[in-house]
Amino acid sequence: MCRRMERIMQDLVSPNQATFIKGRSIAEHSLLAYEMVRGFSRPGGEKACVKLDLRKAYDIVNQDFLCHLMSVMGFADHWVALIKECITSPTFSVLIQGIPYGYFQSNRGLRQGDPLSPYLFTLVMEYFTCLMDLTVHRGRLVPLFRRMVPSVTHLIYADDLLVFIQPTTMGLQTLAGIMEDLKSFSGLQLNRDKSRVYFGSRCSQKEERADVLGIARSDLPVRYLGVPLTVNYARDQDCQGLVEYVQRRVEGWQAAGLSFGRCIELIRSVISAVAHFCLQSILLPVATIRRVERICADFLWRGVCMRSRGSSSAVLGRREVWGSGRYWRSVRPLRSSCPGDSLAGGLSGRTGCTADT
């Protein structure tokens, strides 16, 4: 069933979603979000970015709504019945003082870990896209426009939603109504404590407009899919989250008592991969790269992994240690080329948000 769903998801789900869709890239989404936010300090009218967080998204999906939605999308009745049997037949028990008691069936939610759940949740989120497209078509929501960037009203990655609109009173009220409709039909609820709205520099009465949505206002930059979204080029302080992430990972590795070779492999496969992902969307500051390099060097030579003799700079500079294009030392030459290459790859794709530009 999962393989069959995978083959048709690309045709059913709009380009605004990149989750669990073959041929779509999370890097393209983060790059597009970064380019949209970069225009917030430029002329061209008022702009707003709304980051919406859903509360316990998988656990509160309305199962009857999901089955009805699949029927509307054109799934055969037999297939819908099979899906309904898969999501309603499991039973659960409750541990009381370590002892399981009773078995009961659930009337809502999708099971975490079920290979079908990601595809089904993606279909549920497609309802939000339908509501957004309908209101834009009726003129109640006005999307943002940027040169060389496709018109995008929203981006969805799993339960992370990013909405780009002109913050008129009618537009904000319409967005609030969309979230209420989403809650009424699908069961998905907005987590107002974690949701934020970000206004451009040319917006006035920001607090009053945020009250229309019922969520708090905040200032840029904001992290989306691990990438800081800023109105200008990213600064070192904007990338503090990346440095803190690397520091946390390294601290966990230090307690494991790993060999020198395993430490090298972890730096190559984890730290370098994270840095390369960020470079696909933004231009990392040189200062940030140097800070991460310093953490990696300290991890190798001052922690529990100190096994060899010689200076750290000598080993870090060896081609056989860092490789060509796979280790942290090779990230610096890619610093200026990755964002452009990622954009070119997105524009040449067939299934992403930028496929038709």
pLDDT of residue 46: 85
Q: What is the pLDDT along the chain (357 residues), one digit of tens a residue?
A: 888 888 888 889 998 888 888 888 888 888 888 888 887 877 667 889 999 999 888 889 999 999 999 999 999 999 999 999 998 888 888 888 888 887 888 888 888 888 899 999 999 999 999 999 999 999 899 888 766 666 789 999 888 899 999 998 999 999 999 999 999 999 999 999 999 999 987 788 888 999 999 999 998 888 888 888 888 888 888 888 889 988 998 888 877 777 777 888 888 888 888 888 888 878 888 888 888 888 888 887 765 444 444 444 444 444 444 444 344 454 555 555 555 444 444 444 445 555 544
CA pair distance 357, 353, nearest whole angstrom = 9
CA pair distance 84, 104, nearest whole angstrom = 16
Q: Do the Cβ atoms of 93 and 103 come closer than 8 Å?
A: yes
pLDDT of residue 303: 54
CA pair distance 178, 76, nearest whole angstrom = 28
Domain ranges of the chain: 2-62+115-232, 237-344
CA pair distance 288, 59, nearest whole angstrom = 38
pLDDT of residue 340: 45
Closest CA to 179 of 151, 143, 215: 215
Q: Do the Cβ atoms of 90 and 106 come closer than 8 Å?
A: yes
CA pair distance 266, 264, nearest whole angstrom = 6
CA pair distance 211, 217, nearest whole angstrom = 9
Closest CA to 274 of 237, 243, 232: 243
The pTM is what?
Answer: 0.79
pLDDT of residue 338: 58
Q: What is the CATH number of domain 2-62+115-232?
A: 3.30.70
CA pair distance 30, 223, nearest whole angstrom = 10
